[in-house]
Amino acid sequence: IQPKEPPMEPSGGEQEPGAVRLLDLPWEDVLLPHVLNRVPLRQLLRLQRVSRAFRALVQLHLAGLRRFDAAQVGPQIPRAALTRLLRDAEGLQELALAPCHEWLSDEDLVPVLSRNPQLRSVALAGCGQLSRRVLGALAEGCPRLQRLSLAHCDWVDGLALRGLADRCHVLEELDLTACRQLKDEAIVYLAQRRGAGLRSLSLAVNANVGDAAVQELARNCPQLEHLDLTGCLRVGSDGVRTLAEYCPALRSLRVRHCHHVAEPSLSRLRKRGVDIDVEPPLHQALVLLQDMAGFAPFVNLQV
């Protein structure tokens, strides 16, 4: 008895009777909400190259994106890939472009911002090739902006921040870490214009920010919950005492490497349960004693 030959697989242009191809499924009701939403952005770039039909499907999906994080594509995304992914997007609410920091320019970003007025969150940490033109586009075209990260963007200066403070009326979270051009005057203006709604602010590693800025923030930001002053060498105890007096909602304060901030100014915040990244001096001394002596003294380290 001769063995039966296995049935032949249908060729690319053939289809078994009754079989359903992926692209035969309803795009709007099935493929877009239940299939492509689960495909990583990196795979979508590859899927676009399969056929014209898949390219059309992927572009339709990308046009309806609400959230875009370039990190999902890879640690280094090429300019051409970003252009393809965001070419038709007009409903973005969240945009994160840190992996593009080496090459992202105003010409790349401003058109994307102008097409997406619904943006609520934008992360541009480390994007050092941009200019204040980007903040102008955000301020003018994105009235719903609530969260903005500009960490390590050396081009951010007082004039750029002033435009943002004047027009972003619902801004709640702002990261200005290592924006080294900023001085007290810029932060004072921000506090006076947008302080009422601010909940989280980072001014870390800004050597030109001092007590004058912190005190103005305290007096104008009653809803402030998180403040990062790490490495702000000009901030001292006066600024911290003002925070304790005027910021009842404060939950965390970062003052590591603020060498002019003394423990008495922090104690009032500690008693309220505010999370502070610097341990009390007594706690530090006891830990050091433990390390040196090799045993735990009979002292409560929670003091």
Residue range 70-112, pLDDT digits in tens:
998 888 888 988 998 899 899 999 999 999 999 999 999 999 9
271's torsion region: left (phi>0), alpha (psi -120 to 50) or beta? alpha
pLDDT in the model for residue 238: 97
Which strands make up the sheet holding 252-254, listed edge to edge? Answer: 67-69, 94-96, 121-123, 147-149, 173-175, 200-202, 226-228, 252-254, 275-276
Looking at residue 10, its pLDDT comes to 43
**Residue in the block written with tokens 């070419």:** 87
Q: Where are the alpha helices (DSSP H) in 64-105?
A: 79-86
Q: Helices (DSSP H) in the chain: which residue ranges? A: 41-47, 52-63, 79-86, 106-115, 132-141, 158-167, 184-194, 211-220, 237-246, 263-271, 281-293
pLDDT score of 287 more than 70:
no
Mean pLDDT over each residue of the chain, to the nearest integer:
87
Residue 299 pLDDT exceeds 70: no
- CA-CA distances (angstroms) from residue 261 to 52, 249, 256? 63, 21, 9
* Tokens coding 255: 């003052």
pTM here is 0.82
pLDDT of residue 16: 57
Tokens of 150: 């500009």
Q: What is the tens place of the pLDDT at every residue in 136-193? A: 999 999 999 999 999 999 999 999 999 999 999 999 999 999 999 999 999 999 999 9
In tens, the pLDDT along 35-81 reads 877 888 778 878 888 888 888 888 887 888 899 999 988 888 889 88
CB 251 within 8 A of CB 267: no
Q: Does 199 have pLDDT greater than 90?
A: yes
CA distance 1 to 59: 54
Q: How far apart are CA 181 and CA 156, in angstroms?
A: 7
Confidence (pLDDT) at 15: 53
Res 23: pLDDT: 79
pLDDT number for residue 297: 53
| Residue 59 confidence (pLDDT) | 83
Q: Which is higher by pLDDT, 5 or 211?
A: 211
Check residue 157 and give left, alpha or beta (phi > 0: left; psi -120 to 50: alpha): beta
Q: What is the pLDDT of residue 5?
A: 44
Other residues' Cβ atoms within 10 Å of the Cβ of residue 32: 16
pLDDT in tens, 214-242: 999 999 999 999 999 999 999 999 999 99
